[in-house]
Amino acid sequence: MTTDNVGTVARALSVLKVIAEADAAIGVKDVASSLNLPMSTSHRLLDLLQREGFVAKDYERRRYRVGPEFFRLANIVGQDSTLATVVQPALKRLTEEAGETSLFAMHLSGKQTMCFAAKCDSPHTLRFRVALYEDLPLVWGAAGLAILAFLPSDVQAAAVKHAVPSPLTGRRLIRSEFISELEKVKSSGVAVTRNDALPDAAEIAAPVFSGSNHIVGSIMLAIPAPRFSQSKIRLYADMVRNAAWSTFMH
């Protein structure tokens, strides 16, 4: 495959991502603006995706949305045993045991980010509403720390170097303190944070590995501050570790 072809594939995938993540059908100008592409290039990529059925065009409004071929492939993949579906029983047991919301954070190794891919909501009225499949940094919150602590040192260094301030508090990382925290997480097998990624919350997370000892994500409990008791931290940590180790990946 030539360099030009590789570039076309990458741009086409970027266009498809923009359309899939949009709240409604979008136009060529929206695509061009989102990806900083010329209008002509955006037209060409949309035509290519339309021919293959990955996007559909509303000719009257001149806008585009996800097409039938995209949904067909998504349904095929959805019927397979994904990480999210396999880990769901462990989340259900954890929530039943702890009475709190549990989540599975999936490591997106290509971008060195994460997203919450599965959850089991707490039965309490006061609970967290967490969006799934939203790109999140690894450096803020227990779920990300439980993943990052078990990644290579060069990945950790890059995460620190490119870290943005906390989206919740605006706090900036202090490199020495952060690396020390990662070492503690790796040693204990659990990450604990307060008000780091979710507002007024305690987060406790443990890493999830594949059978080849490859980090694939983490399982986390999210506990609202009014219900959190420091005296139960060891109990919560044991619950989360057990849930992480009970999945098929071990």
Q: How confident is the model at residue 243 (pLDDT cuts 50, 70, 90)?
A: very high
Rounded to the nearest 5°, which phi and psi values hold at 242?
-65, -40
- Statement to judge: residues 41 and 165 lie in one domain: no
Pair (138, 222) in one structural domain: yes
Confidence of residue 183 (pLDDT cuts 50, 70, 90): very high
Q: Rounded to 5 degrees, what angle do the CA atoms 242, 243, 247 make? A: 110
Q: Does 173 fall in a domain? A: yes
CATH number at residue 71: 1.10.10.10
Taking the C-alpha atoms of 12, 13, 17 and 20 in order, what is their torsion angle to the nearest 10 degrees?
70
> How many structural domains is the chain composed of?
2
- Are 194 and 224 in the same domain? yes
Domain boundary among 57, 76, 95: 76
- Please determine, for residue 17, whether its predicted confidence score (pLDDT) is greater than 80: yes
Q: Are residues 68 and 30 in the same domain?
A: yes
- Is 250 inside a domain boundary? no
Per the structure, the complete domain to which residue 236 belongs is given by: 81-245
Same domain? For 47 and 108 the reply is no
Q: Residue 91 has what pLDDT?
A: 95
Could you give the CA distance from residue 154 to residue 152 in angstroms, rounded to a whole number?
A: 6
My answer on whether 114 and 217 are in the same domain is yes
**pLDDT top residue among 84 and 208:** 208
CB atoms within 10 A of CB 197: 23
The answer to the question of residue 123 being in a domain is yes
* The predicted structure's pLDDT at residue 212: 58
Residue 16: C-alpha distances to residues 43, 213, 232 (Å)? 13, 33, 45
Q: What type of residue is 110?
A: G
Query: Once rounded to an integer, what is the mean pLDDT over residues 221-248?
Result: 91
Strands 63-66 and 215-224: unpaired
Compute the radius of gyration of the chain from its Cα atoms. 21
What pLDDT is recorded for position 75?
65
Give bridge partners of residue 10 from the DSSP assignment: none
CB environment 105-132: b (16+ within 10 A), e (fewer): bbbbeeebbbbbbbbbbbeeeebbebee
- Domain stops at, among 76, 104, 129: 76
Whether 113 and 156 map to the same domain: the answer is: yes
How far, in Å, CA of 238 to CA of 128, rounded? 22
Q: Which residue has the tokens 């290579």?
A: 152
- Measured distance CA(153)–CA(186) in Å, rounded: 12
Average pLDDT, the chain: 87
Query: How far is C-alpha 221 from the geometric centre of its chain's CA atoms?
Result: 15
Mean pLDDT value of segment 200-209: 93
* Per-residue tokens: 220: 């986390």
Residue scoring higher pLDDT (7 or 104)? 104
The verdict on pTM exceeding 0.75 is: no
The per-residue pLDDT for 93 is 96
3-class secondary structure, 173: coil
pLDDT at residue number 53: 86
pLDDT 10s digits, 61-71:
889 988 878 87
Helices marked H in the chain: 3-21, 28-35, 39-51, 68-78, 83-98, 142-148, 153-161, 175-188, 233-245
Using the predicted structure, report yes or no on whether residue 153 has a pLDDT greater than 80. yes
CB atoms within 10 A of CB 164: 11
Domain co-membership, 21 together with 122: no
83, 86, 177, 104: which is closest to 147 by C-alpha?
104
